[in-house]
Structure 1
Amino acid sequence: MQSSPSSEQFTVSGEFSVTIKPPAAVDAASLGPAIGRHVIVKEYQGALAGNSQGEMLTAGQPAQGEASYVAIESVHGTLDGRTGGFALAHFGQMHAGSSTLSVKVVPGSGMGELAGLMGELSIHRESGKHSYTLTYWFA
């Protein structure tokens, strides 16, 4: 994660709920491996409070632990008392028993009091519950 030396960083955390709608096949993949398109809907609680909606594309065999996904999520709500919106870009991969996930604020996507927002979000899953940690700054 990189930031400008003059930018102060903040870290917040909280919980979120997520609904992922069943996949729809992507026609462009008719000649290759199947690609699924999912609608994701989230509700964030904590220092980041609000709602989001996005689209996720998946490929691979998740039941066998071999898959990847990409997603763009549009978030609207409040972050540490500032109202506005921003987008998150996701890239996740499972392979050979391990997984990686990168979720970053899309540069230039901040709106309202969140204009200039930059950052990285980590997602945690434990006992069926989802939580997040967001490290952010303003460019």
Structure 2
Amino acid sequence: MTQLQAAGLFDVKIDVQPISDVAQQTGIGRMSLDKKFHGDLDAVSRGEMLAFRSSEEGSAGYVAMEVITGKLHGRRGSFALQHSSWMTRGVPEQSIRVVPGSGTEELKGLAGGLTITIADGKHFYQFDYTLPAHD
């Protein structure tokens, strides 16, 4: 399979949600994600995020799951992304991967990873992926 790349901007709305009784008093936060992707990925996503900000300046972590629905380079379908990202004293690291087997319709067999960059208050994505040839 050929390695492909999609890039563009996305808008995100994050809303604080209640945390479970078990996680009360831990410092963990729960948020809903509502995104709109522009560019090579013309899609929307919905998801959930758990986050923790440590007492060390510039250090935090989050995990999230989101389902993206729309078109990727014109191919329609949906897929899930799994996030595990952290920041150590202001230095970010990310692991955002397609959940294996989550692609539907024309995105069946999708695999790869996405990188998020935030600059000048805007959210950018770069999605490096593989996809089986069109039938």
Whole-Å Cα distance in 2 between the matches of residues 116 and 97 of structure 1?
35
The equivalent residue for 1:50 is 43
Matching residue's letter, 1:132 = Y
The equivalent residue for 1:11 is 5
Identity of aligned residues (%): 41
Question: TM-score if structure 2 supplies the norm length?
Answer: 0.90
Whole-Å Cα distance in 2 between the matches of residues 21 and 62 of structure 1?
23
Whole-Å Cα distance in 1 between the matches of residues 59 and 7 of structure 2?
29
Alpha carbons 2:10, 2:38 under 8 Å: kept? yes
Whole-Å Cα distance in 2 between the matches of residues 107 and 62 of structure 1?
35
Question: TM-score if structure 1 supplies the norm length?
Answer: 0.87
Whole-Å Cα distance in 1 between the matches of residues 14 and 95 of structure 2?
18
The residue correspondences of 1:40-119 to structure 2 (distance < 5 A) are 40-61=33-54, 64-119=57-112
Secondary structure, counterpart of 1:64 in structure 2:
coil
Matching residue's letter, 2:80 = A
Whole-Å Cα distance in 2 between the matches of residues 58 and 12 of structure 1?
27
Q: Deviations over 1:70-118 (max 9, x none)?
A: 0001000000110000001111111233221111111110001001100
* Corresponding pairs, count: 132
Matching residue's letter, 1:114 = L
The equivalent residue for 2:15 is 21
Structure 2, gaps ≥5 residues long: none
